[in-house]
Structure 1
Amino acid sequence: MARKGKEVLNALDAAKTQMYHFTAIVIAGMGFFTDAYDLFSISLVTKLLGRIYYHVDGSKKPGTLPPNVAAAVNGVAFCGTLAGQLFFGWLGDKLGRKKVYGITLMVMVLCSLGSGLSFGHSSNGAMATLCFFRFWLGFGIGGDYPLSATIMSEYANKKTRGAFIAAVFAMQGFGILAGGIVSLIVSSAFDHAFDAPTYEVDPVGSTVPQADYVWRIVLMFGAIPALLTYYWRMKMPETARYTALVARNTKQAAADMSKVLQVDLIAEEDPQSNPSSSKTNSFGLFSKEFARRHGLHLVGTTTTWLLLDIAYYSSNLFQKDIYSAIGWIPAAETMNAIHEVYTVSRAQTLIALCGTVPGYWFTVALIDYLGRFFIQLMGFIFMTVFMFALAIPYDHWRHRDNRIGFLIMYSLTMFFANFGPNATTFVVPAEIFPARLRSTCHGISAASGKAGAIVGAFGFLYAAQSTDPKKTDAGYPPGIGVRNSLLMLGGVNFLGIVFTLLVPESKGKSLEELSREHEEQIGGGGGGDGTEIMDVANSGRTVPV
């Protein structure tokens, strides 16, 4: 690496925390706010969709989504997200982070609106249209994962990098909370405005025609924060690390960094910043050299994210089923359709407020002190303990007097998911891989996580059904029950403990040291001997800013 390139990267690592760091957190974080809102808001309205589109005339029971439709509505966005993470992760390394960043946001805006405007001549037609738009919504969301993480890691200094990346991801908690609040407001407004009767009074009238507006408004609201963020994303410059290490334009990197981070570097053309000056940094993702250096790291980031999302998304998407099983949410027959949305939203908002959101920000506050490895290992351990504590004495928790205890334990499970692997699995892949493969590897790791979310969304839907066919919802085969499902999720979390051992600690190290790009440059003959470059990577010397 030439001297000018080293100065740029060292200045990034040593830069004091400035206003633009917080601006970047908000710009990238609003994407994650929207991601979480869009992904989790569907769980608040799925029961309403069943009542509106699948009620059988003359039936004494509220309508429910058929199992295949429920699985599709809940899980299709994750399929799109997985595809988007792989595609946009790869594209972010090929074209640059900035060029791709705005595309993902516009896809999210258009498909959020499209989801709320879903149409069809029949119930299945309307749900098919909804699934179409939610797949492409997920595709846009998928691109946000590797790009936001990579951009934030490449802007940040090494002292507070973990907190900055975690803060971007923590906006997901506010997105989940916002979904519950918006749903509460909309359902409450419609419930009082149209004064729908209870189900016992009028089975058909309990679902007023205006209920169809509720789910549409809730889903379409996700377009607003994404649209507000678009302008600022377009004004962000390309990250200096991409420009210097991948595009090999240290002059532009220095100029861009000087504008946004108030760093004075002379933007001179460096004759040695030439792609041909280093041949050892040309190995690709599927090469033996990558497997030797980063193969186990990629196995660690993919498996831990996979296992975490099986448990995390199962718990989040089907909170309403767990609450119903323990009797916290009244039976559907006792509520009108809109009030049922209100009740489910209130329960999910309470859990988000007490467990989910605080967990994210504990990670932000402590990740650069405790380290990524410790927080991830601790999170998986506590998730395992609390899942088993809920599952083994499950009959005890179902008793009316013990429901508060169940909710406390469940909130703690969510807390340690977020003050644990849900945050660290996002942070670490953005730090430990080379710049030219960073977005791709983060996309692969995240896609593995979404494969876990798909398992959670489709698998838990069936597994959590009652073991008694007579007590199983219409159309669902008998499952293993909520208790055994919680036991399985506890086992999944235990495997997360094991595979965390493959994930390296990245606290306090530069991205180039973690990815071993400083070693690559030694063999490239770029502007100095190997000793000098190693000293730069490991010394405590800083560049004044």
Structure 2
Amino acid sequence: MALKVLSALDSAKTQVYHFKAIIIAGMGLFTDSYDLFCITPIMRLLGRVYYKESGYQTPPAVVSTMVGIALVGTVFGQLLFGWLGDRIGRRKMYGLALMIMVLSSVGCGFSICTTRSCVLVSLGLFRFVLGVGIGGDYPLSATIMSEFANKKTRGSFIAAVFSMQGIGILAASAVTMAVCAVFDGASGNVSKEQTPKEADIAWRLILMIGAVPAGLTFYWRIMMPETARYTALVEQNVLQAAIDMEKVLEVSMSQITEENPPPPNPPSYPLLSKKFFRRHGRDLFSCAASWFLVDIVFYSSNLFQSQIYKKYVPDGDEVNVYQDAFNVAKLQAIIAICSTIPGYWFSVYYIDRIGRVKIQEMGFFFMAVVYMAIGIPYYMYWNDNTNKGFMVLYGLTFFFSNFGPNTTTYIVPAELFPARFRTTCHGICGAAGKVGAIIGAIGFLWASHNHEGGGYPKAIGMTASLVILGGVSILGMVVTKFFTRETMGRSLEENEID
């Protein structure tokens, strides 16, 4: 028999607190996407400031390192904070993860000194720490939202938290455009050959502004009560869970207090034991494998970026330093508004109507179709393409990723596993995803830059790369079809006992 306080959570009507929780929990995802999508125009600024001898272009190895080092930190953060979230509590770790993100974002902007080598080492160090904070936020935010939500709209609430990534992408572009426009105007419209000293301040300011929204929610985070499911099921304190939820649910204690509290029921098996794998091994495999596969594809968007920029962004030699970064940010904003953000909100609307499994299968399927449509005829048509078709297909990869596995892989691990293992398992799945992200972001970035120079490896040209991504999407669809369980419309306790 379910505890009254948990039954009350499952059947609770949507309240103001749910929307407040979405904002609080979503700030970590906001910071994640802000950092990911502001780094491309920032690399353009860094190239102009520090790489005069390289034609004012940041070398691909430096770009790969800056992207990869944050992802490595994210892997570490997901594993560490996921484990601590089950051992110490979601609430206690939640504020710490946010504080790490805020301080490291500010640190990225300062980056200690002005010489190139010192700046890059310092920036890499702070980006690693930023990745740790972002990684820690993933399992905590998803789990906290899942444990506060009712079972009817739980998917929509968690998807709304994840959709804050879309707002972060748009904010990164808007801030970059605003900062560059202000600096360009203040400098008297510098020529395309000039790189004023103030440009070294511009990229730092862009990075530090990303910490402001997250910092504003810090007080709310530390004031959040521990989730009732952790307090009741892990700490075995049913009365305290009822006291905490009385404030959140706006119900009387008499409705959620147990007349005869059940005796403590300590865990019957440890994490990663034979019994755990017998009961939850399939779920852990399906969630980790799906997340790994989708992140290979999602983060490989770097494979297209050079082609997109060549077609739709003026060449860096034709504009000044601020206009160069402005144009890149503007293109990112257009893509976000037209495809990325709609994908997130389609998931919010349909996740509790269609179900997680169907949306994940559908997303993988259409991603495979789009990648094959771009890849197979690439050298015959798309390589010299001057129409808008390539841009439409590029946008569809983001739309069906977000209205598909990029969102559902964040949701499902927060719903399938027992309360005492929930953040740990979500962290393991998320870490697997970020390993895929490293492969996608760095491996395919390497492939695309080799292609640009005309000397792409014989074994992996653009066509082969795109077809491989289509094949990865098909594999993700297979994993979803045969291994992933549906969690829609069921309580978390029902999901964990199957």
Q: Distance in 1 between matches of 2:331 and 2:70?
A: 23
Q: Distance in 2 between matches of 1:50 and 1:506?
A: 47
**1:350-404 Cα distance to aligned partner (Å, 9 max, x none):** 00010000000000001001000000000000011011111222242344542x1
Deviation of 1:298 (Å): 0.5
Question: Which residue number in structure 1 is paired with residue 441 of structure 2?
Answer: 457
Question: Which residue number in structure 2 is paired with residue 324 of structure 1?
Answer: 309
Residues 253-268 of structure 1: pairs in structure 2 closer than 5 A: 253-266=241-254
Deviation of 1:197 (Å): 4.7
Q: Distance in 1 between matches of 2:41 and 2:17?
A: 36
Letter in structure 1 aligned against 2:486: E
Question: Which residue number in structure 2 is paired with residue 180 of structure 1?
Answer: 173
Question: Which residue number in structure 1 is paired with residue 352 of structure 2?
Answer: 368
CA contact (8 A) 1:465 1:477 kept: no
Q: Distance in 2 between matches of 1:491 and 1:92?
A: 35
1:38 pairs, out of 11, 35, 39, with: 35
C-alpha RMSD over aligned residues:
2.0
Letter in structure 1 aligned against 2:220: W
Question: Which residue number in structure 1 is paired with residue 285 of structure 2?
Answer: 299
1:508 pairs, out of 467, 470, 489, with: 489
CA contact (8 A) 1:285 1:437 kept: yes
1:282 pairs, out of 236, 253, 268, with: 268
Question: Which residue number in structure 1 is paired with residue 152 of structure 2?
Answer: 159
CA contact (8 A) 2:238 2:261 kept: no
- Say whether residues 1:17 and 2:10 are aligned partners: no
**1:122-161 Cα distance to aligned partner (Å, 9 max, x none):** 3122101000000000100111100000000000110000
Residues 373-388 of structure 1: pairs in structure 2 closer than 5 A: 373-388=357-372
Q: Distance in 1 between matches of 2:3 and 2:473?
A: 41
Q: Distance in 2 between matches of 1:322 and 1:499?
A: 31
Letter in structure 2 aligned against 1:393: P
**1:309-368 Cα distance to aligned partner (Å, 9 max, x none):** 1111121x555313135x222322222222110111111110001000000000000100
1:489 pairs, out of 456, 460, 469, with: 469
Letter in structure 1 aligned against 2:55: P
Moved more, 227-236 or 5-14: 5-14
**1:420-443 Cα distance to aligned partner (Å, 9 max, x none):** 001100000000000000000001
Residues 366-515 of structure 1: pairs in structure 2 closer than 5 A: 366-395=350-379, 396-402=381-387, 404-467=388-451, 469=453, 471=454, 480-501=460-481, 502-515=483-496
Q: Secondary structure at the match of 2:449?
A: coil
CA contact (8 A) 1:196 1:208 kept: no
Deviation of 1:75 (Å): 1.4
Q: Distance in 1 between matches of 2:33 and 2:349?
A: 21
CA contact (8 A) 1:428 1:506 kept: yes
Question: Which residue number in structure 2 is paired with residue 80 of structure 1?
Answer: 73
Moved more, 448-457 or 374-383: 448-457
CA contact (8 A) 1:468 1:478 kept: no
Moved more, 91-100 or 259-268: 259-268
Distance 1:401 1:247, change over 3 A: same
Q: Distance in 2 between matches of 1:37 and 1:298?
A: 29
**1:219-269 Cα distance to aligned partner (Å, 9 max, x none):** 111110111000111111000011110011010111111111112233757
Deviation of 1:34 (Å): 1.8
Deviation of 1:26 (Å): 1.2
Deviation of 1:8 (Å): 1.3
- Say whether residues 1:131 and 2:124 are aligned partners: yes
Q: Distance in 2 between matches of 1:268 and 1:373?
A: 36
Q: Distance in 1 between matches of 2:273 and 2:137?
A: 27
Letter in structure 2 aligned against 1:216: R
CA contact (8 A) 1:465 1:479 kept: no
Q: Distance in 2 between matches of 1:110 and 1:393?
A: 47
Q: Distance in 2 between matches of 1:455 and 1:363?
A: 26
**1:74-126 Cα distance to aligned partner (Å, 9 max, x none):** 21111111100000000000111101100011101100000000134631221
Q: Distance in 2 between matches of 1:478 and 1:350?
A: 34
Distance 1:28 1:384, change over 3 A: same
Q: Secondary structure at the match of 2:279?
A: helix
- Say whether residues 1:246 and 2:239 are aligned partners: no
Q: Distance in 2 between matches of 1:50 and 1:484?
A: 30
2:44 pairs, out of 29, 44, 47, with: 47
Q: Secondary structure at the match of 2:422?
A: helix
Deviation of 1:468 (Å): 7.2
TM-score when normalising by structure 2: 0.95
Q: Distance in 1 between matches of 2:60 and 2:417?
A: 41
Letter in structure 2 aligned against 1:448: A
Q: Secondary structure at the match of 2:282?
A: helix
Residues matched between the structures, number: 495
CA contact (8 A) 2:29 2:161 kept: yes
Q: Secondary structure at the match of 1:508?
A: coil
Q: Distance in 2 between matches of 1:477 and 1:336?
A: 33
2:325 pairs, out of 316, 337, 341, with: 341
Question: Which residue number in structure 1 is paired with residue 217 of structure 2?
Answer: 229
- Say whether residues 1:312 and 2:298 are aligned partners: yes
CA contact (8 A) 1:250 1:270 kept: no
**Unpaired runs of 5+ in structure 2?**
none
Q: Distance in 1 between matches of 2:326 and 2:457?
A: 28
**1:278-304 Cα distance to aligned partner (Å, 9 max, x none):** 36x421221111111110110000011
CA contact (8 A) 1:466 1:482 kept: no
CA contact (8 A) 1:464 1:480 kept: no
**Unpaired runs of 5+ in structure 1?**
520-545
CA contact (8 A) 2:4 2:258 kept: no
Question: Which residue number in structure 2 is paired with residue 542 of structure 1?
Answer: none
Deviation of 1:164 (Å): 0.5
Letter in structure 1 aligned against 2:479: F
Distance 1:269 1:416, change over 3 A: closer
Letter in structure 1 aligned against 2:296: I
Q: Distance in 1 between matches of 2:300 and 2:35?
A: 16
Distance 1:186 1:320, change over 3 A: farther
